[in-house]
Amino acid sequence: MQQTSRTIIENVAVLSLDETIGELGSATITIDGGRITSIEPTAEDAATAPGHRAGDEVINGSGLLALPGFIDTHRHTWQSAIKHSYAELDPRVYFAEVLKGLGAAFQANDVYVGNKLGSYASLSAGTTTLFDWSHVQNSPEHSDGAIAGLRESGIRAVFGHGWPTSPDDSWTANSTKPHPADIRRVKDQYFADGSIEDRITLAMVLRGPEEASPDVWQHELRLARELGLRVSVHTGAYARNANAAAVQQYADARLLGPDMTFVHCNHLTDAELQLIADNGGTVSLGIHCEMNSQGVGEIPFHRMLQTGIRPSLSGDTETKCTGDMFTQMRMLWAYHRSTLTRLGPDYAAQTPPVTMRDILGYATIEGAKAIGQEAEIGSLTPGKRADIQLIDTTALNLGPIQDPAASVVLAAHEGNVRHVLVGGKFVKRNGSLVGVDTEDLMEEARRSQENLLERAGAYKAMAGV
Ligand SMILES: [Zn+2]
């Protein structure tokens, strides 16, 4: 039988996020057939070390720390080429200006370029899995473009098929329009075998009770279940969303289930958070965007912990924050500590403890759970797919390291990510993305941005901005 070529990373520190394996100061990770086959502490006696065989690629991991690739559970990747332009916009205007105005101006190629740019940028910063929350299905070609961008980059992704943007409110204000039926074509064309290249899967993103009429939000959820798709829904971010009591409505309709991920959740009541926990649902905190978006409610992190929910993290929209997961972790830790200080010792005493490893877990294994893939990714575990980032611990901002989890959460950044593997394949090596001309990519994105801004004027006028 022909042997496959293995990748062996030797003398590497490991932060596995796997409870059995834990943390190792020096280990050998063996990768075969796209999966981790073993993680063994470095043998003290070289004679007993596992041998190599012809064709193995052996990486010297000295000075590197291996940890699971991050999993971002909610990103509007299509907006990647218009990033950071709306930071100072009145947050209420975001919906009119960015979603209704610019969103309506998006052509299929802009979605392709945005998804490609966002995926490559994610990979470069250690994110190996992206839930592409794609509410820009303006035509079937837009969906094709989104999938093509994810596919070309080599990232692991969930394509979350949504609805079209339009300059009016018809899709998002008590909408009576059902979820686009093209999702059936997308499923048949790309996901008949369950995934594209064992890497990209399909989910549905919902408007839910906050944006759709009762017939429509019940229909969209039933359609997802008929198609066997997990769902994700923005819920309770702004005060106005609280009136919809979306989670309570799902519960009353007996539709709440473990296949649902709720994004933001700021204005959910404690009872609603408990309903999510009791029904096995998951959540996604887009903390950088939530803190940057004036008008969003208080971060519900501590209230979630009290119900037993462990959140996943997400980059949300780069129009007003960063998609980088290091930042999400840092923001959450700072939020946590500053809130305990602000609200005093009685509050701190009733708040469940949070560690640096918990924060790393939210960015990895909890993300895997939120997309239903915890058996495959989210920790460095033999048998799981080899989605790994290797961080340079000799960098001046990190070393000399005492507590690897603290160093990663407090101080690591994209520049420290030396190598990234998705399914055992290098997508970033020695600090550079593999097989992509980043200058060409940036030029393509710049052209898309320019064309979009040119076209957007007419749609913004229709949207009243
Ligand atoms: Zn969002």
Q: Please give the distance, rounded to the nearest whole angstrom, from the Cα atom of residue 316 to the centre of ligand 1.
A: 5
CA of 68 to the centre of ligand 1 (A): 24
Predicted local distance difference test score (pLDDT) of residue 457: 85
Ligand 1 midpoint to CA 275 (Å):
22
Decide if 7-68+379-433 and 70-370 have a common fold.
no
Q: What is the pLDDT of residues 145-172, one digit of tens each?
A: 999 999 999 999 999 999 999 989 999 9
Q: How many Å lie between the centroid of ligand 1 and the Cα of residue 319?
A: 11
Q: What is the CA(48)–ligand 1 centre distance, in A?
A: 51
Phi, psi angles (nearest 5°) of residue 349: -65, -30
Ligand 1 center to 173 CA (angstroms): 16
* CA of 208 relative to ligand 1 center, distance in Å: 13
Rounded CA gap, 151 and 136, in Å?
18
CA 300–ligand 1 middle distance (angstroms)? 16
What value does the CA radius of gyration of the chain take, rounded to a whole number of Å? 22
Give distance in angstroms: CA of 206 to centre of ligand 1. Answer: 11
Find the 152 Cα to ligand 1 centroid distance in Å: 23
pLDDT at 400: 96
Which residue, 329, 320, 398, is CA-closest to 364? 329
CA 234 to ligand 1 center in whole angstroms = 6
Distance 344 CA to ligand 1 centre (A): 32
Cα-to-centroid distance, 160 and ligand 1 (Å): 12
Q: In angstroms, what is the span from residue 252 Cα to ligand 1's centroid?
A: 25
Tell me the per-residue pLDDT of 38-79, one tens digit each, with 9 for 90 and over: 999 998 876 666 678 889 999 999 999 999 999 999 999 999
Closest CA to 61 of 37, 32, 40, 35: 40
Structure-token pair, residue 256? 């709440």
pLDDT at 2: 54
- Tell how far the Cα of 386 is from the centroid of ligand 1, in angstroms: 28
Residues 290/263, Cβ–Cβ less than 8 Å: no
- Whole-prediction pTM: 0.97
Domain 7-68+379-433 sits in which CATH superfamily? Urease, subunit C, domain 1 (2.30.40.10)
Q: Identify the helix (H) or strand (E) that includes residue 376.
A: none
- In the chain, which residues have pLDDT < 70? 1-3, 46-50
Q: How far is the CA of 92 from the centre of ligand 1 (A)?
A: 14
Residues β-bridged to residue 260: 231
Question: If you measure from the C-alpha of residue 76 to the centroid of ligand 1, how many angstroms do you get, rounded to a whole number?
Answer: 6
pLDDT at 101: 85
The rounded Å distance from CA 191 to ligand 1 centre is 24
Q: From ligand 1's centre to the CA of 227, what distance in Å?
A: 23
CA 332 – CA 318 distance, rounded (Å): 17
Residue ranges per structural domain of the chain: 7-68+379-433, 70-370
Give the DSSP letter of residue 68: E
The matching CATH number, chosen from 3.90.550.10, 3.20.20.140, 3.40.640.10, 3.40.50.300, for 70-370 is: 3.20.20.140
pLDDT at 47: 66
CA of 260 to the centre of ligand 1 (A): 15
Alpha-carbon 324 to chain mean position: 10
